Structures are given as structure tokens and as C-alpha cells.
A and B are shown apart, each in its own frame.
Chain A
Amino acid sequence: GEDVEQSLFLSVREGDSSVINCTYTDSSSTYLYWYKQEPGAGLQLLTYIFSNMDMKQDQRLTVLLNKKDKHLSLRIADTQTGDSAIYFCAETIPTDSWGKLQFGAGTQVVVTP
């Protein structure tokens, strides 16, 4: 099975907050990432958090990391229709291959008016 797990779908009303959750298994991960993918496009890095941090805020985005539970979340405040996309969390895999990422299956976020 996958080492990084996410719920597959989230529906949210415009203006509300969205919370996307992710769990990972590799406790030696150094960085954890959130990427956004719009239809037919590549991945856009939204934010990342170093494993010794609990929280990181960047404008409308807040990342929370619970290292004990290996749980990562992304909160989007004041969700807009342009936030509709698939969101992937990813962890770095500390191997000989620097920078190798393990992705979750992605959470499709649909923002309704």
C-alpha cells in the first residue's frame, strides 16, 4: 500500500475554510510538502514544512504537522473557486537518491459557489 495516505475528495463552499489531511509512515522524513495540480497541468508547490516545525503559515495557507501521529494537514482560509484542484502531500524519502519524494494519492477539492 501507499506510504502516504490522503482522503480522496473534499467539497467546500466558497468562502469557507478547507482542511486537507494526510498521514505518512516514514518518521525519518525531513521535509513534507503540499502540491497543487490543476487539470492537465504539472504540479505547483504550495508550501512545505521542515520536520522539526509544528506549524507554518503563508497567507491563506496553514500547515500543521503532528510528528508523533505522523499527521500533516493543509488549511486553506477563505477558499475560492480558483482553489479547486487536486492537492498532493508528499514526504521526502531519505535514501541515497537525494530529494526522492513519495506522494499521496491526492485529494480532489471542489469549491462550490
Chain B
Amino acid sequence: QVQLVASGGGVVQPGESLRLSCEAFRLTFSYYGMQWVRQAPGRGLEWVASIGYDESNIRYGESVRGRFTISRDNSKNTVHLQMSSLRPDDTAVYYCAQGPSRSDFWSGYRNWGQGALVTVSP
């Protein structure tokens, strides 16, 4: 059973930075892209960022572009989300999710992590 374990959440002040990590277990990590998705309190889900299996095809949602950076370390089966210039409206549970592989589009979003809570508050 694939497991995605997110870490790095916490409470920060506006303008500060935070790095989330998501480690994959029982997954041939280097075959798959990875995604970050968030859910603000009382709101729906919002796609945040994605990265291809080979670090190509990096994309960002409009609300985080220029402030967040997605990266991956295939040697550690880990994807990161570096968040800078954080704002109160970035407060959310952040989920990592499996992306598609080279050969299987439908593997995208098959597995999700349990989420990491980020709170941005003065």
C-alpha cells in the first residue's frame, strides 16, 4: 500500500517562509509526478503545484505563483513545497498527491497524504 507522509506544517507569521515535505513509501517515486493541493478552513480544495517525474513540467496555481516553489529529491522519495511570503489566506491543510507517470495518466491523484496544517497568523 502506497503511503505519502507530509510534514513541516506549523504556525508562522505573515511574510515568513515554511517548507513542506512529503515522503513516499512503497512507490517507485521516480516514475511519478507529484502534486500539492490545499484546503483552507471552510473552503473547497485548491490545486497548488505540480512537478513531473523528472522535475520537468513544473506548474503553479495563480494564487501561489512567484511565492511557492515545488521541488523533488528522487534519491529520498520526497517532494517539497517551499512557501515564501506567506499570507493569512495561505492558511490551509496541504495535501501531497501522486501525479501521473510517463505511461499512466490515471495514476495521477491515485494516492494522497494525510495533510499538513499551515497556519499563517500575526
A and B assemble together:
no
